[in-house]
Structure 1
């Protein structure tokens, strides 16, 4: 299904969120969040797209490869680590929500507005992942 054709107004609404987060979240952090959530959700289309975008924007191969084990990798700063932990918690939202320690770590290094924008970014990529996985979107054969 090509959701943008079947439900163009809904697709545009999600696109509006995407435009907002692109304008309000640090681009490096935004790509890390998108890649991490997409990995957790098993969205090959989004992992491919956002990895290629991150590389084009100057992200290192090494950091991208380390995304699978970011907690053990020394390549991410405190703000990135807080964003990645929050991404994991929000993406895998369990019965008890986001753990207090994850929230507290994020609130320590991100302002209230930055944290609000980060939550919107995490929510947005999760919507895109669910659309792409459900409609069976595949990465292009060649980049």
Structure 2
């Protein structure tokens, strides 16, 4: 059970973060949106968000093997240049190891125009907010239905 229900305890704050989420989901192409959300959530150890975004990807028709390989995306050849650039940027922004290196930024800027890049950054920042809220409140995904 989570420590508190943010949507009830701080409804206005929750709505503000949800507003960023709504904007991001409408302004970043769907598969890239879910890829960055899943990867950032993996890095942040957010079980709630990993479960949610992996499930949403599966429901939208993304192959299971692709979803399953997000944690090792550099090791497989089925991510497009745009997806690879988005995943690398998501990792750098999520981890912030002293800033986003120029080579990572430049690679993303080669495959995304300025507006796309700005919207991608907002989406990455938003999932990091959600991850921190869900991890801090110990939100858990619903357990999977077990075959009997």
| Runs of at least 5 residues in structure 2 that lack an aligned partner in the other structure | none
**Following the alignment from structure 1 to structure 2, what is the Cα–Cα distance between the partners of residues 77 and 141?**
32
2:81 corresponds to which residue? 78
TM-score (norm 2): 0.94
Matches within 5 A, 1:112-123: 112-123=114-125
| Runs of at least 5 residues in structure 1 that lack an aligned partner in the other structure | none
**Following the alignment from structure 2 to structure 1, what is the Cα–Cα distance between the partners of residues 17 and 129?**
8
Return the offset for 1:108.
0.5
RMSD of aligned alpha carbons: 0.8
Return the offset for 1:4.
1.1
1:50 corresponds to which residue? 53
Which aligned runs of 4 or more in structure 1 are off by greater than 6 angstroms?
Answer: none
Matches within 5 A, 1:1-143: 1-94=4-97, 96-142=98-144
**Following the alignment from structure 1 to structure 2, what is the Cα–Cα distance between the partners of residues 9 and 18?**
14
1:86-141 Cα deviation digits (max 9, x unpaired): 000000012x2001110000001000000000000000000000000000000101
TM-score (norm 1): 0.97
